[in-house]
């Protein structure tokens, strides 16, 4: 069953073919003072409804984190390619608490885990996609 979120419709297609080129944004995650950074790349399909996340890649030189980050990226990408609305997934990830730690972001917010930071980043990206789609529809109407 299709779900509509903002101007994007999810759940309308099966596993979608990947275009030869996608628009993407890379975000740096984690504490910027650390040597080993983590990068989240979100690639979007751009269509009449605006930008829609299609796949994610998470890269790091941190060997202890690599396996679960690669698995998480593949699961998120598989869901996105099947047209699943990413907003509930982002919210679920954003609520994950690491009992061993967390950190304060540069803006003072508490980020309870790396998984939560990935979810928060995905939420931020979805807001940007909706804003971009809204701006595009205003330009087309004007």
Per-residue pLDDT tens for 42-53? Answer: 999 988 878 899
Residue 14, SS3 per DSSP: coil
Angle at 61 between CA 29 and CA 18, to 5 degrees: 70
* Residue 43 backbone phi and psi in degrees, to 5: -100, 135
Listed residue (35, 7, 5, 34) closest to 140, CA to CA: 7
Per-residue CA distances from 103 to 63, 109, 111 (Å): 20, 8, 5
Number of domains, the chain: 1
**Range with the largest mean pLDDT of 2-16, 24-38, 65-79:** 65-79
Helix axes 86-94, 114-141, angle to 10 degrees: 140
Q: Contact at 8 Å (CB) between 27 and 121?
A: yes
**Does residue 134 belong to any structural domain of this protein?**
yes
Domain hosting 133: range is 3-12+23-141
What average pLDDT does range 121-129 have in this prediction? 94
Higher-pLDDT residue of 21 and 9 is 21
**Does residue 77 belong to any structural domain of this protein?**
yes
**Does residue 68 belong to any structural domain of this protein?**
yes
């Amino acid at each position: 069953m299709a779900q509509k979120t903002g101007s994007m419709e999810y759940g309308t297609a099966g596993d979608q073919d990947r275009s030869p080129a996608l628009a993407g944004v890379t975000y740096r995650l984690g504490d910027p003072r650390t040597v080993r950074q983590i990068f989240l790349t979100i690639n979007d399909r751009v269509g009449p409804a605006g930008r829609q996340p299609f796949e994610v890649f998470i890269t790091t030189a941190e060997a202890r984190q690599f396996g679960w980050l690669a698995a998480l990226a593949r699961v998120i990408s598989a869901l996105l390619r099947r047209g699943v609305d990413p907003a509930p997934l982002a919210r679920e990830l954003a609520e994950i608490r690491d009992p061993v730690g967390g950190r304060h972001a540069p803006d003072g917010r508490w980020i309870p885990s790396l998984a939560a930071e990935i979810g928060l980043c995905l939420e931020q990206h979805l807001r940007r996609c909706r804003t971009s789609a809204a701006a595009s529809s205003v330009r087309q109407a004007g």
